[in-house]
């Protein structure tokens, strides 16, 4: 057994039984508090972070499954180039699919290209619209699609997207 330092032994002997009991209880409470602060609390925070990562992974899996389902429903179709300009087609198709309100920016880039920005658009509708663009002879030159972050379930399935479409050359 370890021997207490001389100063502590002297201090302890000078205390009466009631003071020793109080100091012992205070030491036990301090050890419990330090244990909670430096052991239990960090473990609980790590568990919460792991739970949050799992929830995000499950949300991403559901998002991916929804995208796969939408792509499968779109199915392969013959791509015939459209006689319309990309800008005109974008306007008409967005209205037809019901995403004209989410199409917040349209920027023509020459006669054969258009740059688009969508805000909080339903992912499945965006995929359906892109499949129609492919069928109309437009190809995706670039796309940046990010899930809409939100604390509520209102943002589930919504994305922000920046897409550049270009007219494909007619196959001969």
* Domain ranges, ordered by start, for the chain: 17-73, 86-167
Q: Report whether pLDDT(139) > 70.
A: yes
Q: Report whether pLDDT(131) > 70.
A: yes
Please give the full DSSP string across the chain, using - where no structure is assigned.
-PPPPHHHHHHHHTS-HHHHHHHHHHHHHHHHHHHIIIIIHHHHHHHHHHHHHHHHHHHHHHHHHHHHHHHHHH--------SS-HHHHHHHHHHHHT-TTTEEEEEE-SSSEEEEEEEEEEHHHHHHHHHHHHHTTEEEEEEEEEEPP-SSGGGTTEEEEEEEEEEPPPP-
Mean pLDDT of 1-9: 80
What's the fold here for domain 86-167? Gyrase A; domain 2 (3.30.1360)
Q: Report whether pLDDT(60) > 80.
A: yes
Mean pLDDT of 141-160: 78
Q: Report whether pLDDT(153) > 60.
A: no
């Amino acid at each position: 057994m370890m021997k207490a330092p001389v100063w502590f032994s002297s201090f302890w002997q000078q205390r009466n039984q009631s003071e020793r009991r109080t100091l012992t209880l205070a030491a036990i409470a301090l050890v419990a508090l330090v244990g909670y602060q430096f052991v239990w609390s960090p473990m609980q925070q790590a568990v919460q972070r792991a739970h949050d990562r799992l929830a995000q992974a499950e949300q991403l899996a559901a998002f991916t499954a929804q995208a796969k389902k939408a792509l499968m429903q779109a199915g392969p179709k013959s791509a015939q180039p459209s006689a319309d300009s990309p800008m005109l087609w974008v306007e008409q198709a967005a209205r037809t699919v019901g995403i004209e309100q989410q199409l917040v920016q349209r920027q023509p880039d020459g006669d054969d290209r258009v740059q688009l920005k969508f805000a909080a658009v339903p992912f499945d509708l965006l995929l359906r619209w892109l499949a129609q663009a492919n069928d109309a002879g437009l190809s995706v030159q670039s796309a940046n699609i990010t899930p809409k972050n939100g604390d509520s379930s209102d943002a589930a399935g919504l994305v922000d997207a920046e897409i550049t479409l270009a007219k494909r050359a007619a196959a001969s």
